C-alpha cells in the first residue's frame, strides 16, 4: 500500500455517500505497513519527489521556488473507496447560523479577480491556519530549524521503519520531531497527528491528533507568510505541509474527528486546499457544493472542481454530467 492510500477519504463524500450529518466519530482501523511517496504539485502538474532531508536543507528550499510538497494520492476510477487513513475534526455551536463557523475567521481575505490568485489563496490558508486556538499541551513556537538540524531523528528513518512495519518506533520518531518544544517540524506534526488518529503504533487519541494537525498548520503558515512577504510569489519551503494540514483539518471538521462536525469549516478548508492544487480536496469541495454541505448547492461550482480534479488525474467514475454545456462555465 502506498502513502497515497493512507490519505484517501473516509466516508467518501465525493463517491456519493449521503452521510452528511451524524455518524460515528470512531477513527478508522490502522493501516498495515503503508509506503510513503511525496510529490510536488500545482493545479496543472505533479512530479514525484525523492524525499531529501528537509531538516538539513531548509534554507536551500526557501531560496529555491520548487513548488509545493504534497502527497501523491491514488487515482481511482471508481469514486472514493473508504480507507483507514484519514481523520476529521469539527466544532459547531448549536445556535450558530448555518452559514457561519467558529473555525472560520470573519475577516478571511477575499479572493480578487486580479492579481496572483494562488498567492491570495495561500494567504487565506495562512489565516485559516492561524485562526485555531492553541490546544492544551501544545505551545506554539517558531519553526526551530537549528534544533531539527541537530536532532538524531529524521523523517526518512521514521518512514523506513513505518514501511517495514515497525509502527511503534516510527511513530516515536515522528513524535520527537513534532515536539513543539523541540524540533517543531510541521511535516512530522502532520504525520504524528495521523498516527494518533489511526493508532499507528500508539493508542488512538483524536483530540491530541487534532492539536498536532493544528500546530502543523500554524507553523507552516508562519513560514509561508515570511516567504510571501519576502517576495516568493509561489510560497516557501513549508507550502506542502500547509496545504496538507489544511486538507486534513477539513477532514476533521467534516467527519467530527476530535471535535464536533462543522460543515461550513470543512467546505472552507477543502476549498482553500483545492485552490492550492490538492486534487483530493478538489473532489471533496465539489461534493460539498453538489450536496449543499456547509454551503448552498451549486452544481456549476461542483462541476468546475470535479473537472479540476480530473485534470490532476483524480477522476470520479460516472461524472460525465460535469461536461454538459450548462455546467461548463467557470472552468
Residues 53-97 have pLDDT tens digits of 444 444 443 333 333 333 333 333 334 434 344 333 333 333 344
133-148 burial by CB neighbour count: b if 16+ within 10 A, else e?
Answer: eebeebeebebbbebb
Q: Which helix (H) or strand (E) holds 72?
A: none
Residue 242 near residue 129 (C-beta atoms within 8 A): yes
pLDDT higher than threshold 80 for residue 110: yes
Mean predicted confidence (pLDDT) in 10-30: 45
Confidence (pTM): 0.70
pLDDT score at 52:
42
Check residues 91 and 241 and name the one with the higher pLDDT.
241
Share of the chain above pLDDT 90, in %: 45
| Domains in the chain: boundaries | 116-277, 281-331
Check residues 116 and 33 and name the one with the higher pLDDT.
116
Q: Greatest CA separation found in the chain?
A: 58
pLDDT score at 4:
44
Radius of gyration in angstroms for the set of CA atoms belonging to the chain, rounded to a whole number? 18
What gap in Å lies between CA 123 and CA 54, rounded to an integer? 23
pLDDT score at 109:
83
pLDDT score at 57:
41
Residue 9 binned pLDDT confidence (cut-offs 50, 70, 90): very low
Total number of residues shown for the chain: 331
pLDDT digits (tens, 9 = 90+) for 252-277: 999 999 999 999 999 999 999 999 99
What gap in Å lies between CA 238 and CA 256, rounded to an integer? 26
Domain made up of 116-277: CATH architecture: Alpha Horseshoe (1.25)
User: Which residue in this structure is represented by grid cell 515536539?
Assistant: 179
Give the CA angle between residues 37, 41, 43 to the nearest 5°: 140
pLDDT score at 330:
61
Check residues 225 and 150 and name the one with the higher pLDDT.
225
pLDDT score at 235:
63
Residue 31 near residue 200 (C-beta atoms within 8 A): yes
Tell how many helices (H) and how many strands (E) occur in the chain.
12, 3
pLDDT digits (tens, 9 = 90+) for 278-315: 999 999 999 999 999 999 999 999 999 999 999 999 99
Query: DSSP assignment of 113-129, as one string?
Result: SSS-HHHHHHHHHHHHH
Strand 46-49 relative to strand 68-71: parallel, antiparallel, unpaired?
unpaired
pLDDT score at 41:
52
Residue 37 near residue 4 (C-beta atoms within 8 A): yes
pLDDT digits (tens, 9 = 90+) for 152-185: 458 889 999 999 999 999 999 999 999 999 999 9
pLDDT higher than threshold 80 for residue 223: yes
Q: Which three cell numbers stand for residue 156?
A: 526518512
Q: Which helix (H) or strand (E) holds 294?
A: none
Q: Which helix (H) or strand (E) holds 107?
A: none
User: Which residue in this structure is represented by grid cell 494537525?
Assistant: 213
Residue 31 binned pLDDT confidence (cut-offs 50, 70, 90): low
Strand residue runs (E) in 19-125 = 38-41, 46-49, 68-71
pLDDT digits (tens, 9 = 90+) for 177-207: 999 999 999 999 999 999 999 999 999 999 9
What gap in Å lies between CA 136 and CA 131, rounded to an integer? 15
Amino acid at each position: 500500500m502506498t502513502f497515497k492510500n493512507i490519505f484517501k477519504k473516509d466516508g467518501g463524500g465525493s463517491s456519493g455517500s449521503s452521510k452528511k450529518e451524524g455518524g460515528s466519530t470512531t477513527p478508522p482501523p490502522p493501516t498495515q505497513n503503508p509506503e510513503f511517496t511525496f510529490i510536488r504539485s500545482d493545479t496543472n502538474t505533479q512530479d514525484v519527489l525523492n524525499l531529501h532531508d528537509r531538516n538539513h536543507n531548509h534554507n536551500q528550499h526557501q531560496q529555491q521556488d520548487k513548488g509545493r510538497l504534497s502527497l501523491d494520492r491514488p487515482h481511482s476510477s471508481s469514486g472514493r473507496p473508504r480507507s483507514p487513513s484519514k481523520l476529521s475534526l469539527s466544532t459547531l455551536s448549536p445556535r450558530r447560523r448555518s452559514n457561519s463557523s467558529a473555525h472560520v475567521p470573519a475577516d478571511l481575505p477575499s479572493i480578487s479577480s486580479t492579481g496572483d490568485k494562488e498567492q491570495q489563496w495561500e494567504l487565506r490558508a495562512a489565516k485559516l491556519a492561524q485562526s485555531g486556538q492553541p490546544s492544551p499541551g501544545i505551545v506554539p513556537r517558531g519553526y526551530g530549524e537549528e534544533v531539527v538540524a541537530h536532532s538524531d531523528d529524521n523523517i526518512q528513518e521514521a518512514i523506513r521503519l513505518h514501511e517495514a512495519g515497525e509502527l511503534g518506533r516510527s511513530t516515536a520518531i515522528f513524535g520527537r520531531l513534532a515536539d513543539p518544544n523541540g524540533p517543531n517540524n510541521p511535516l512530522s506534526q502532520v504525520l504524528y497527528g495521523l498516527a494518533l488518529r489511526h493508532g499507528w503504533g500508539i493508542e488512538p487519541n483524536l483530540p491530541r491528533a487534532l492539536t498536532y494537525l493544528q500546530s502543523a498548520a500554524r507553523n507552516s503558515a508562519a513560514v509561508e507568510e515570511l516567504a510571501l512577504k519576502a517576495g516568493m510569489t509561489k510560497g516557501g519551503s513549508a507550502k506542502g505541509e500547509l496545504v496538507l494540514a489544511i486538507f486534513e483539518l477539513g477532514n476533521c471538521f467534516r467527519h467530527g474527528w476530535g471535535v464536533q462536525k462543522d460543515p461550513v469549516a470543512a467546505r472552507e478548508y477543502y476549498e482553500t486546499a483545492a485552490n492550492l492544487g490538492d486534487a483530493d480536496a478538489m473532489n471533496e469541495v465539489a461534493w460539498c457544493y453538489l450536496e449543499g454541505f456547509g454551503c448552498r448547492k451549486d452544481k456549476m461550482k461542483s462541476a468546475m472542481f470535479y473537472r479540476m480534479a480530473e485534470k490532476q488525474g483524480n477522476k470520479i467514475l460516472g461524472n460525465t454530467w460535469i461536461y454538459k454545456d450548462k455546467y461548463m462555465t467557470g472552468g
